Amino acid sequence: MFKRISAAAVLAAATLFAQPAAAQGVEFTGAGATFPAPVYAAWAAAYKQATNNTLNYQAIGSGGGINQIQNRTVDFGASDAPVPTDRLTQQKLVQFPAVIGAVVFIVNLDGVNKNQLKLTGEIVADIYLGTIKTWNDPRILAINPGVTLPSLAIQPIYRSDASGTTFVTTSYLSEASAKWKAEVSAATSVQWRTGAGARGNDGVAGAVRNTKGAIGYVEYAFAAENSLTTTQLQNVAGQFVEPTTPNFQAAAAAADWENARDLAASMINKPGAQSWPIVSPTYILFPRDPRDAARAKAALDFFSWSFAQQGGQIAERLHYIPLPAAVVTRVKAAWANVHNAQGQPVWTGPSQ
């Protein structure tokens, strides 16, 4: 049976760095992306033990997170797709990255082992466009000598909800395939040409696991936790690479943070022989004018804690990549734009 990121995995990551709890805590709320939900859950568990402050995070998809923070029904929203500058200004939001993750393709094919199958972005695009229909298509066979692929219909699975994971994946497909870019493009929701939808990263992972011949896309933590069959992908250097932390790190290291507007740096299709082609930060959307300054301070304290060593180690245990120290400095500088009702900065440094 398919499982979400297990409680055991979250607790194992969290309790490794637990400290005695403070006597009194604050509860704060967030909602949005499922892509980072496993690491947010692990951070929240460890942070509660350290401070007694509680994060209530709802993994409802990036679109839902954006809507909730615009309506100010949560203390922060979370989105894998960066929000445009004009919208941030209009909605009085500060945007910053929280952690870096990777998207992978997963398949359900008898006799095909983890990372045995090779795919290219153009082939994946044509699968989701409906022009490649079976696993023994000549184009797939040509790059997979020695792999026995059946005459089986391909069953594409995609996100049915507004999803930052979909934005990241379709951004990759748009760079890999001119046809995809022209006909579908990149967005949190697109007009899929074929296949079936499922909600959330866990929903896609479950649908692939339960459907012979299926292919889908998920954040790597979901594939790793559930021992799903991932594939190799060809990167811009022409190399077929496996989804591994060193290959994710190679792509992340190529990001141009110096020129990243609103702290949104692309890591899609970065150069380098090792680079995994689908790597992306996931973002937090924070109100410049929070309704409750105490909860806002607690939320920013939480992210400050997550950027420190213990938070970074938890992220790595769950297959995410912590932000570089220089980026953390930029993020905390952006928090100076968050003010209470008296116009004073909400965050001037961590409470603990």
Domain containing 149 equals: 103-255+266-279
Dump pLDDT digits (tens) for 137-173.
999 999 999 999 999 999 999 999 999 999 999 999 9
Dump pLDDT digits (tens) for 205-235.
999 999 999 999 999 988 998 899 999 999 9
Write the CATH number for 133: 3.40.190.10
Residue with tokens 């496996």: 242
| Domain identity same for 86 and 213 | no
| Domain identity same for 35 and 53 | yes
Dump pLDDT digits (tens) for 263-317.
999 999 999 999 999 999 999 999 999 999 999 999 999 999 999 999 999 999 9
Task: Report pLDDT for 13.
Answer: 58
What is the secondary structure of 173-229 as a DSSP string?
HHHH-HHHHHHT---SS---SSSEEESHHHHHHHHHHTSTTEEEEEEHHHHHHTT-E
| Domain identity same for 168 and 270 | yes
| Domain identity same for 287 and 149 | no
What is the secondary structure of 138-173 as a DSSP string?
HHHHHT-TT----S-B-EEEEE-S--HHHHHHHHHH
Dump pLDDT digits (tens) for 167-201.
999 999 999 999 999 999 999 999 999 999 999 99
Task: Report pLDDT for 16.
Answer: 53
Dump pLDDT digits (tens) for 63-111.
999 999 999 999 999 999 999 999 999 999 999 999 999 999 999 999 9
Cβ contact 245:130 at 8 Å:
no
Q: How far is C-alpha 233 from the chain's CA centre?
A: 18
| Domain identity same for 66 and 159 | no
Pairing outcome for strands 214-219 and 155-159:
parallel
Task: Tell me the whole-structure pTM to 2 decimals.
Answer: 0.89
